[in-house]
């Protein structure tokens, strides 16, 4: 963000790392992926970083500072891993690889959260976010049970919740890790659940809608979005399953809702990973919990493998690519 004619403007990403070439002059924003050590060289002190951006590529960076060790160190200390930095410099080839370097009077400076646009570092939404939220609200309108309706309206009509839910990602890296990813995933789970109701009309449709909309609500706390998506302390220590449960439990207590409904809804959240080995303290014990579990699986697992293939076919001409988390090959053709 800089002041231009009295107006503050955020720094915007100009070109992806992948577009840089030897000799380019650069005045752009990057995220610090890895921070390396600071050392001395002939003319003073220098430090090294590895920069990245939303293209996923990385770039070696070197700052060649003066003999004023204190000043260089102070600059070095102000830059953290995950910092978004504004960099002026020049690209050259070193050791067969591109390298960006800054020499005074050009600068590198860390930016504050309001000085850059997160969307430059997090993948953008796939679908229209407002349309998706409208769809979510329509599902709430469709609910018959007044208690469930009250609960869902109370949660999703709150403007702060709407703002956050519209932009939050669905995961760190495996699936739906983009702006609006949580909303997109939530709607997919909803749609598999509604089809299940069509096929098995004995199911409780209202409970399905509530389960679909709330099963991952704790991800709002579990995932922190700075220059990248990462797990918060509470996310790592407690996890979105329990965070969701605490959140929904509190909401229901405040609204004075029925205890049997509360047990069922909390159970759907608690059991939605399906097995204890996947972090659910309880396995699904009634049909609607089974539905939400498998709907969640379908949405996340199809998203994961289609993303994996999309990324892999850029990197290899082989027919297969090894998938480390799944521990087997994926077929790319």
117 scored as a contact of its own copies (CB under 8 A): no
- Write down the least CB distance from residue 26 to its own copies, Å: 21
- Write down the least CB distance from residue 306 to its own copies, Å: 5
- Write down the least CB distance from residue 45 to its own copies, Å: 13
- Write down the least CB distance from residue 121 to its own copies, Å: 19
Query: Which residue lies nearer to its own copies by CB, 11 or 64?
Result: 64
Helices 159-167 and 146-156 cross at an angle (nearest 10°) of 70
Query: Which residue lies nearer to its own copies by CB, 14 or 326?
Result: 326
195 scored as a contact of its own copies (CB under 8 A): yes
30 scored as a contact of its own copies (CB under 8 A): no
E strand or H helix that includes residue 49: strand 44-52
239 scored as a contact of its own copies (CB under 8 A): yes
DSSP one-letter code for 170: S
172 scored as a contact of its own copies (CB under 8 A): no
Query: Which residue lies nearer to its own copies by CB, 8 or 310?
Result: 310
- Number of residues located near its own copies, criterion CB under 8 A: 71
260 scored as a contact of its own copies (CB under 8 A): yes
Stretch near its own copies under the rule CB under 8 A, chosen from 11-19, 98-106, 108-116, 272-280: 272-280
Binding residues for its own copies restricted to 196-215, rule: CB under 8 A = 196, 198-200, 202-203
E strand or H helix that includes residue 189: helix 181-199
Binding residues for its own copies restricted to 289-308, rule: CB under 8 A = 290-291, 294-295, 297-299, 301-303, 305-306
Q: Where are the beta strands (DSSP E) in 164-215?
A: none
Q: Is 175 exposed, middle or buried (0-12, 13-18, 19+ CB in 10 A)?
A: buried
Q: Give the torsion through C-alpha atoms of 259, 185, 224, 265, to 10 deg.
A: 10
Query: Which residue lies nearer to its own copies by CB, 9 or 302?
Result: 302
**148 vs 87: CA distance, rounded Å:** 51
Query: Which residue lies nearer to its own copies by CB, 12 or 80?
Result: 80
Structural tokens at position 95? 């050791």
Distances, alpha carbon 327 to alpha carbons 51, 82, 321, 322, 330, in Å: 29, 29, 11, 7, 10
Planar angle of CA 218, 128, 243, nearest 5 degrees: 0
120 scored as a contact of its own copies (CB under 8 A): no
């Amino acid at each position: 963000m800089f002041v231009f004619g009295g107006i503050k403007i955020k720094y915007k990403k100009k070109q992806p790392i992948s577009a840089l070439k030897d000799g380019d002059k650069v005045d752009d924003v990057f995220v610090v992926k890895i921070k390396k050590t600071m050392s001395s060289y002939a003319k003073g002190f220098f430090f090294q970083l590895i920069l990245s951006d939303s293209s996923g590529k990385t770039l070696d960076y070197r700052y060649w500072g003066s003999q004023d060790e204190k000043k260089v160190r102070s600059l070095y200390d102000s830059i953290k891993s995950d910092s978004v930095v504004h960099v002026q410099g020049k690209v050259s080839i070193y050791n067969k690889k591109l390298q960006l370097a800054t020499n005074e009077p050009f600068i590198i400076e860390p930016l504050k959260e309001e000085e850059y646009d997160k969307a430059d570092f997090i993948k953008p939404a796939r679908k229209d976010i407002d349309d998706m939220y409208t769809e979510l609200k329509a599902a709430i309108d469709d609910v018959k049970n007044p208690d469930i309706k009250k609960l869902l309206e109370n949660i999703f009509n709150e403007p702060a919740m709407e703002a956050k839910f519209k932009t939050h990602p669905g995961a760190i890296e495996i699936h739906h890790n983009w702006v609006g990813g949580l909303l997109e995933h939530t709607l997919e789970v909803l749609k598999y659940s509604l089809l299940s109701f069509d096929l098995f009309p004995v199911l409780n449709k209202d409970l399905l809608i509530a389960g679909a909309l709330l099963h991952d609500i704790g991800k709002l706390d579990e995932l922190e979005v700075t220059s990248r998506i990462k797990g918060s302390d509470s996310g790592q220590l407690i996890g979105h399953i329990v965070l969701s449960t605490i959140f929904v439990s509190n909401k229901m207590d405040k609204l004075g809702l029925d205890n049997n409904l509360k047990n069922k809804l909390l159970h759907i959240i608690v059991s939605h990973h399906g097995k204890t080995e996947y972090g659910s303290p309880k396995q699904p014990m009634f049909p609607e919990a089974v539905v939400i579990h498998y709907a969640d699986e379908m949405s996340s697992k199809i998203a994961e493998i289609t993303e994996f293939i999309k990324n892999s076919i850029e990197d290899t001409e082989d027919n297969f690519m090894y998938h480390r988390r799944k521990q087997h090959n994926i077929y790319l053709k």
